[in-house]
Structure 1
Amino acid sequence: MDPRYFPLFLTAPIFAAALTYEVEFIGIKESEVVQSMKDVSNLVSMRNRPPASVNGLRYRIASDIPSFIDVLHAYAYYDAKISSDIREVDGIYQVDLLVEPGIQYELGSYQVYKGDCTQIARIPECPPFKPKKLGLKIGDPALAVSIVNAELNLLTQLSRCGYPLAKVEKRRVIVDMEEKKVEAASCIQEGPFAKFGPSNLLGLKTVQPRFVERRIAWKEGETYNSDFIEETQARLLNSDLFSSVFINRGDTLDSQGELPMKIRVTEAKHKRISLGFFYATVDGPGGSFQWTFRNLRGMGEQLYLEADISKRYMGGSATYKIPDFLRMNQIYKAWGSVSRENIHAYNSFNYVLANAIERKINKKTTGSIGLSLEHLDVTKSASNGNYLILSLPVFAKYSTANDLLNPTKGYSIVYQGIPYQSFEGSDPRFYKQRLTGVFYIPIGTRRVVLALRAQIGSIAGARQRDIPLPKLFLGGSEDDLRGYRYYTVSPLNSDNQPLGGRSAIFATIENRFRVTETVGLVQFVDFGTVSLKEMPTVDEKWFKSAGFGVRYFTFFGPLRFDVGFPLNRRRGIDSKYRIYAAVGQAF
C-alpha cells in the first residue's frame, strides 16, 4: 500500500462514527441572554465538528456550564442553575440545556472610591459622581454591562473637569444572596489635574492653518474638557473640507501642567461637478448642473455655479458663502440668479441680486436676515407687468425634530417675513409673512409616525393689482395640495387664469409606515384655501387632495415617490393625478 494514503484510512472511521446533535436552551425567555450563552458555547460553535461519542458530547456540555453561569451572573441571575439532558431522536442527538435562572438581582447601591477603595471620591473640580449621572438606576437589574458602561461614563465625566488621565483601578461587586441585591463600587485613580497645551496641526495641504485654529473650541492653558475635543471635531467635519479628523492628547503633562494636543486631518476633494437628469409630471423632462469649489482662498469659502433646465423652469445662479462670518456658526451668503418660469399661472423672467446672514443661535434655533433686489417681467397671466422690488427677508426656525430628512418625533415652528418696497405702481409697499407648524408623533414605535403640518400666510399693504403675481399665494405643488396643477389653486378670472391670493391656509396629514428597514409607505390628505382677502379666512372655498407614496430608505435619507389625486378637480385645469419624486420626506 502506498503510505501516502495511510492517514486517510485512520481518520475515516472516526468521522464515520461522529454523531449529529441539536442544542436547545429551555427555561430562559430573554433572547439577548440566550444569544450571549450561544456566543460563549463550544457546544454551539463546534457543531460542525461533532464528537465521536456520547461521552465526548457530555464533556462538551460540562465544559460549557461554567461559561453559561458566568453569562447568567453578568445578567444578574446569581441563583442560576443549569442541567442537561441528552436523547436520541431518529439518529440525531437532542441536547436540552435546562436553565433555572432564579430571580434577577437588583442594583442596591453604587459608589465611587479613591484607588484604595476606602475613601469616597470627592474631587473639587468635578460634580458629585451620582449613579443617575453615570447611567445607573438604583433598583434596576444589576447588569454587568451597565456597571462597565457606568465606569466609562465616569472616566468621561472626569475628562470633562480636568482629569483625562484618570483610570479605574479596581471594581468591587458584593452580592447579597439574602436581599437579592448587588452593591457595586468603582475605585479610581484620578491622576493629575490637566490643562490644554499647544496644538500641533498635521495633514493640511491647501487649507490654511488659521481656518483650523479658528475652530478649535479650547484655548491653551484652559482646563482640559473632552467635550471641547468633540465640538472641535464636529466643527471641522461639518465644514466639508475634511474627510477625517483625529484629535489626540499627550500622555504626560509638561512643566506647565498642560497636555500637548495633536490634530491630524485628511483633506477632502474641494472641487466637485454634478449632473442630474429627471422627469416629473410637474416639470416634464429636465436636467441640472452644479460646479462647487469649497475652499476658495484656503479659508473654506465656497462658490457654487448652478444651472437647471426643464419644460417649466430654466435658470442659472452663482452663490458665494463665507463660513463663520464675524463669529462661529454664522454664514454670509451672496448670490445672483437669472431664471425663466413658464407655468399655467404666468410666464416670468426673474433677475435677482441678494445677500444674507444666516446664524445658528443654538442646536434648536436658526435665523437669517438679508437684502434682495429683484426684477420681474410677468406675462401670459391675469396680471402682467414689469416690477423692480427691494426686499428685506427675515427667517426664524425653532426645531426639536430628531432628523432633517426623516424626522420621527419632535416639532418645528418656522416664521418667514418679507417687507417689500416696489418701485412700480401707486402703492409700492407690502409685507408678506408665513407661519408654519410641523409635528411628528410616533404611534407605538417609530415605525409608525403621524406627521401634521399647518401653514398660514398673509400679505398686507399694497393693493393686489400692485403686487407681482409670483409673490402672491398660489396653491398646488409638491409642498401643498398635491395633485392639483402647479400653482393654480387660487381664485380664477373668467379665462380660468389664477389671480393669486393675499392670504392662504394649508394643512397636511400624513401617516408614515416603515414596513422594512428599506421600504416605507405613506398615506396623505392635503387641505387648502387661498383668498383675495388680506387676512386668512375659513369661509372661502376649500380644496382637498389625497394620495399615497412609497419611501426607499438609503444611507443619505429616504427617496420619496408620491401620487396625489385632486378631490375637487377642475375640468380643463387639473389632471386625474400627479406624480412627485424627491429626496427626503415631504416635510
Structure 2
Amino acid sequence: MKRLQGRARKIRADKIAATFLTIAAVFCGGWIFVSSAQAFEIFGYKFFEGDQPEVVNQVPDPLPYTATITVSGGDKDLEKALMETSQLIQQEDTPPSGSPGLISRALGDQQQLIALLYVKGLYGGTVNIDIAGKSLETAVEAGEVSRRVTPVPVVIRVETGPQFHFGTVSVRRQASDGVPAETLDPAKYGLVTGEPALSDKILQAESRIVSDLKDQGYPLAKIADRSVVADHATSRLDVAISANPGPPATFGHVTVQGAKRTKVDFIIRQAEIEPGSRYDPEILRRAAKRLRDLGIFASVRVIEADRLDTGGSLPIMIEVSERKRHVIGGGGTISSVDGLGLEAYWRHRNLFGEGETLSLEGSVGRIINGDYGAMEYSGQVVFTKPGVFGPATSFSATLGAKRENPETYESRSVYGSMKLTNRPTDKLTYDVGTEVEYSRESDALGTGHYALFGVFGNITYDSRDSIVNPTRGFRATLHAEPAYDAETGGVMGFTKASLSTYWSLNGSDRFVLANRIAGGSIISPHLADIAPSRRYYVGGGGSVRGYAYRNVGPRVAGEVIGGRSFFETSTEIRTRITETFGVVGFVDAGAAYNSQFPDFSEELKVGVGAGLRYFSPIGPLRLDVAVPLSPEKNDPNFAVYVGLSQAF
C-alpha cells in the first residue's frame, strides 16, 4: 500500500516516481521481428501491399491473468481514467513473462495509478493490488505468485480519498545581479487558494514562471526550490515555489551545423538573431519558423547553449537537415458537375544555395465524358527567392499560359507577374506586384482581345489554428488592383474581400460553426470593357455549391455574362463523430450583379447539402453533396464534390 501519511508530510518527487523492478527474465529469450511498411493505407484498406513476413512475438513462460478494478469515492470519469491508465487492465490479453513479469507490471501500475490520483488532487488516495489473494508487497518479498488458479486473479482496489484544495500558496523570484528578490502573484500562474489542488497545475505554474523569466532576458532561469505540503486533517495543499532567474544575457555567436548546399551566411541572415541584442526566446521561435517556412529543410533546431560565454552572452547553434533538391508532385479533384481535374509539378529547391525555388506546374481540368473541347489546361513557370529585402520579404515571378472553358465563356491567355511578399508576423501577410495578361475571349456578348496591365496589392490576416481543418480563429483577405486594358482603352479597378470565421461550440472541438462571407467590385463604366474571365461569377465548389461552376450571374439570352460585383455567404456545422469520421451540413448563397457594387437586384441563389469527412494524417478528405434550390440553364439537379481539407 502506498499512501501519504501524517498531518503535514512533504510530498517529494522521489516518492512520486515509479520504483520499477528490473527483472531480466521479462526480456531474456524474447524477440520481435517487424517488417518495414510496404503499403499505402486509407479508410482501413491497404494498397500495393506485398507479401509480409510472419511477425513473431514470443514471451518465455507466459503467465495469463484476469484483472478487475474497484474504485471507492470517485465518479465515472475518474473510474474510466483509472482503467485507461492501468496496464494490468489494458494489457490483460498480453501475458507477462512468469511471476517476475506480473509483479513488475503490478508495481508499475500502482505507481501510475497513484500519479493519476495526484493529477486529480487526491493526495490521500490509496492503491492496493492483490495477486492470487496475496498483497503485492507479499508477492514482492516472495519473488513469485501462486499459480494454483489460472488465469491468476488480480484485484486492484482504489480509494480516492478527499479532494485536496490549495491552502497557502507563495511564488518568489530570487535576487539576481543587483535585482532584488520579488514576491510574485500566484494567481497569475493558476495557483489560487481554495481551488482544487491538481498536481498538473503546480507543474504548469512552474513552467510558466520559468517562461516568464526567460521572456525577461534570463535564459538560464530555473525552479530553485519547491515545497509541497499535504495536510490530511484539512485536505489542504500548501505550495511554495522559488525561482532562480540566473544572470541576464544577450545573444552570442550564432553557428550553423548540417548545411550542405545552403549558404551558412544566408541561414544566419534569415534567422535574424542579432549577437549582442537582449536574449528573447520569441526571437528564437520566429527564427526556427522562418527557416522551416523556406521549405528547403527537413528539420530545423535552434539550440541554446547551457552556459554563458566569458562575455555574458548565450551562444546559439542552428542545426538543419536539408531536403532533397528535386521533387515531383501532383493532385486531383473530382466533381459530378466539373468532372475530373489533374495537376502536377516539378520543383527544384535551393537553386543557388539561398532558398530559391524554381517550379514547373501544369494542370488539366473539366475532363468530362471524354469531351476534349470542354477541357481546361494551364502551364506556368514560377521562380521564388526569399530574403530579398530582409528575412520577412520574398520575391516571385510567374510566366504562364492557360485555357479556361466554363459554361459561360472561353478564354485563351498568356500572362506574367512579379510580386514582393512580406510577412511581418505569423498572422499578417501582404504583397504588392504587377501583372500583364493578353487574352482572346468569347462569351454571349461576342469575341474580343484584351491586353491588361495591372498593379495589385493583397493583405491577409490569418489567426486560424489549422489551415486544412480550422476549429477557431478567422481569416480575412483584401485585394485591390487598378488596371488598364490597352486593347479596349478601359481603365478599371478590381477589389475583393473575404472573411471566414470558426467557432468551437464545445471544449473538445467536436462541434464547429464555420462561416464565410465574400464580396467584390469592379469600377468600370462598361461591362464589355472587362474581359469575361475577369468579371465576377458565382457557383461551384468554393462558391455556391450545387450550381455549375461560374454559372450564377447576369444573363443575356439565357447565357451568363458575369457581373461587376458579387456577394457570397456560407455556413457550415461540422460535427466530429469519431476520431476518424465526421459529418457536415451546409448552406451556401450568392449572386453576381451588373452594378459596380452589390445592389441585390439579382435573385440570391441558395444551395444546401451535407457531407462526410475522413480525418487523415494530412488533413480531412471531403465528400460533399449539394442541391441547388433554384437551378437555371446548365445547372445540375445535384452536385458531388471530393477534395482534401475543409471547404473553407
Q: Which residue in 1 is equivalent to 2:518?
A: 455
1:107-132 residue CA offsets vs partner (Å, 9 max, x unmatched): 23433447xxxx78898499974434
Q: Which residue in 2 is equivalent to 1:107?
A: 166
3-state secondary structure, aligned to 1:446: coil
The one-letter amino acid paired with 1:38 is S
Further displaced range: 76-85 or 294-303: 76-85
Q: Are the equivalent residues in 1 in contact too, given 2:266–2:354 (CA < 8 A)? A: yes
CA change 1:487–1:66 in 2 (3 A) is: closer
Q: Distance in 2 between matches of 1:397 and 1:126?
A: 45
How far is 1:538 from its partner?
2.5
Q: Are the equivalent residues in 2 in contact too, given 1:110–1:183 (CA < 8 A)? A: yes
1:360 corresponds to which of 413, 423, 434: 423
Q: Are the equivalent residues in 1 in contact too, given 2:521–2:564 (CA < 8 A)? A: yes
How far is 1:300 from its partner?
0.6
Q: Which residue in 2 is equivalent to 1:12?
A: none
How far is 1:39 from its partner?
5.3
Q: Are the equivalent residues in 1 in contact too, given 2:439–2:449 (CA < 8 A)? A: yes
How far is 1:306 from its partner?
0.9
Further displaced range: 206-215 or 528-537: 528-537
1:190-233 residue CA offsets vs partner (Å, 9 max, x unmatched): 44443322122111111011211112342222333333322222
The one-letter amino acid paired with 2:167 is G
3-state secondary structure, aligned to 1:489: coil
1:245 corresponds to which of 277, 296, 300: 300
2:69 corresponds to which of 7, 18, 24: 24
Further displaced range: 401-410 or 31-40: 31-40
3-state secondary structure, aligned to 2:389: coil
Further displaced range: 62-71 or 295-304: 62-71
Q: How does 1:37-56 map to 2 (within 5 A)?
A: 38=86
How far is 1:398 from its partner?
2.6
Counting matched residue pairs gives: 560
1:483-526 residue CA offsets vs partner (Å, 9 max, x unmatched): 222212122222x3212112222221222122222222222222
Gaps of 5+ in 1: 1-14
CA change 1:280–1:269 in 2 (3 A) is: same
1:255-307 residue CA offsets vs partner (Å, 9 max, x unmatched): 21223322221111122122445554444345323111221211112211111
Q: Are the equivalent residues in 2 in contact too, given 1:481–1:528 (CA < 8 A)? A: yes
How far is 1:404 from its partner?
1.3
Q: How does 1:557-568 map to 2 (within 5 A)?
A: 557-568=619-630
3-state secondary structure, aligned to 2:488: coil
Further displaced range: 351-360 or 23-32: 23-32
CA change 1:67–1:336 in 2 (3 A) is: closer
The one-letter amino acid paired with 1:101 is T
Q: Are the equivalent residues in 1 in contact too, given 2:171–2:186 (CA < 8 A)? A: no
How far is 1:562 from its partner?
1.9
- Residue 545 of structure 1 pairs with residue 593 of structure 2: no
Q: Distance in 1 between matches of 2:431 and 2:223?
A: 48
1:348-390 residue CA offsets vs partner (Å, 9 max, x unmatched): 1111121122222333322222211111211254342111111
Gaps of 5+ in 2: 1-60, 134-148, 368-374
The one-letter amino acid paired with 2:590 is G
How far is 1:159 from its partner?
3.2
Q: Which residue in 2 is equivalent to 1:4?
A: none
Q: Which residue in 2 is equivalent to 1:322?
A: 385
Q: Distance in 2 between matches of 1:70 and 1:417?
A: 58
Q: How does 1:425-574 map to 2 (within 5 A)?
A: 425=488, 428-444=490-506, 445-494=508-557, 496-571=558-633, 573-574=634-635
Q: Are the equivalent residues in 2 in contact too, given 1:243–1:268 (CA < 8 A)? A: yes
Q: How does 1:351-430 map to 2 (within 5 A)?
A: 351-425=414-488, 428-430=490-492
Q: Distance in 2 between matches of 1:264 and 1:525?
A: 48
Q: Distance in 1 between matches of 2:538 and 2:179?
A: 62
Q: Are the equivalent residues in 2 in contact too, given 1:347–1:381 (CA < 8 A)? A: no
CA change 1:82–1:179 in 2 (3 A) is: same
**TM-score, normalised to structure 2's length?**
0.77
1:311-342 residue CA offsets vs partner (Å, 9 max, x unmatched): 43111111111213312322222111111112
2:642 corresponds to which of 577, 581, 585: 581
CA change 1:199–1:463 in 2 (3 A) is: same
How far is 1:70 from its partner?
6.6
Q: Distance in 1 between matches of 2:544 and 2:570?
A: 8
Q: Are the equivalent residues in 1 in contact too, given 2:271–2:391 (CA < 8 A)? A: no
- Residue 142 of structure 1 pairs with residue 197 of structure 2: yes
How far is 1:94 from its partner?
6.9
CA change 1:263–1:333 in 2 (3 A) is: same
Q: How does 1:290-309 map to 2 (within 5 A)?
A: 290-309=345-364
CA change 1:74–1:579 in 2 (3 A) is: closer
Q: Which residue in 2 is equivalent to 1:76?
A: 121
Q: Which residue in 2 is equivalent to 1:8?
A: none
Q: Which residue in 1 is equivalent to 2:257?
A: 202
Q: Distance in 2 between matches of 1:520 and 1:473?
A: 33
Q: Distance in 1 between matches of 2:449 and 2:576?
A: 49
The one-letter amino acid paired with 1:432 is F
How far is 1:156 from its partner?
3.2
Q: Distance in 1 between matches of 2:94 and 2:596?
A: 78
1:550-579 residue CA offsets vs partner (Å, 9 max, x unmatched): 2222222222222222221225x2222222
CA change 1:123–1:229 in 2 (3 A) is: farther
CA RMSD after TM alignment: 3.7
CA change 1:164–1:433 in 2 (3 A) is: closer
Q: Are the equivalent residues in 1 in contact too, given 2:462–2:476 (CA < 8 A)? A: yes
Q: Are the equivalent residues in 2 in contact too, given 1:105–1:181 (CA < 8 A)? A: yes
